[in-house]
Structure 1
Amino acid sequence: MVIRVVVADDQAVVRTAFAGLLGTQPDIEVVGEAEDGAAAVRIAAEHRPDVALLDIRMPGLNGIEAAREIIAASGGATRALMLTTFGLDEYVYDALTAGASGFLLKDATFPELLHAVRVVADGRALLSPDVTGRLIAEFTRQRVAAPPARSVEGLTTREVEVLVLIARGLSNGDIADRLTITAHTVKTHINRLFAKMELRDRAQAVILAYELGLVVAGSGAGGIRAAGPDAGR
């Protein structure tokens, strides 16, 4: 399957470089380039790409609003991957809540770029425990002070444990090893968790875990610490 990509960045050098690199791959096709969010929305509507690679900070319609419009217009078929200059960009949390599937630093290596596009195109969230976990913790610290709109009352203890481990950046295989269960069982728990909490992907699961206070900033994988095994009981 060929992954169709739209690249949007107001810096022509960056935009052209990313598009050129992606275009060298037989499984990736760059179907359009945009200099701002409004152009990205128009091009995405015309070409229906699998992935929209969007700079967060663009003049006029920024990348976050563009992501929200593109995702809504495509019914979630187009996945948004955000480009940012700094690891602690103040807008990354808002990008994830807008529906983006992850983010990529502009100084990412070529292999990292390819990996990010392929992961997002495959319907997965690009969430590294050492970067994304720390970043979300930083920008949700004040938000979790208010009572969350949702609770874990409808989840089983095991589903809460799985949610915490997802927020810590563990893969299904890692979760299976940690809980001493099969990968199939992990997938079943995740499917039930997502259905109960109306989550689209792991990015939303991470945000939910932080909003509920199940994980907090501290020590451990990715600079985050689980709130404890009894957090969801």
Structure 2
Amino acid sequence: MILYISMGEIKLNSISLVASKNRRIAITGAFSALIILMGIPGLHLGYIQLSPAASLTIMHIPVILAAVLAGLPGGIVTGLVFGLTSLVNAAANPSGLLDPLFVNPFCSVLPRMLFGAAAWGVFRLLSMVSVFPKALCAAVTSFLTTLLHTVMVIGSMYVFLNSQMSETMGGMGFVMVMGVILPGALLEAVAATFVCAAVTAAMSAASSKKAKIFSEENKD
């Protein structure tokens, strides 16, 4: 009897692990497809142009959600897709002063992959505090890592293309440029906070309901 129960538990755990893996793959694929759609050259669905030198983006939001809902691989893969769409847009349909710099993968792809990993790491750390609901962890993660994303992208330009970046920005250094784009970065952070918190709360509620139903069915 004990052996039968143990075998049943092992079988349920195996099914759960496979379902969890398939879920993460599906989430990563869905958000990657969304990023590609938003990043189609010429459409600018993921960018809101504010001036020749600056634009707001919402393309980082699927990366944060993938990192939160699908883990580290999801964050890195969607970050890679985000970076590649940015590179393609910069090469095929440049529309801003900084676009020529995004042709360099160290400025367009690398920081986005690191950003995806950072989003997972921050969410993971916050999730260790048991009293924090997942929606709150996602909200804080979104706000902090959106600002970090801006710092990483602009910073990479100064690290890898310092002379070109300084010339493009009229001699302004990193700190001055960050001061100029800070209002836009804060808007991006606020938007990401609300969207990611809402989506995470909905997904958590759906998962809890599904798990409860699955548990009751197995008891029967």
**TM-score over 0.5 for the alignment?**
no
Decide which structure has the larger Cα Rg and report it: 2
Answer 1 or 2: higher relative contact order, Cα 8 Å, separation at least 6: 2
Determine which structure has the larger strand proportion and give its number. Answer: 1
Determine which structure has the larger helix proportion and give its number. Answer: 2
TM-score, scaled to structure 2: 0.28
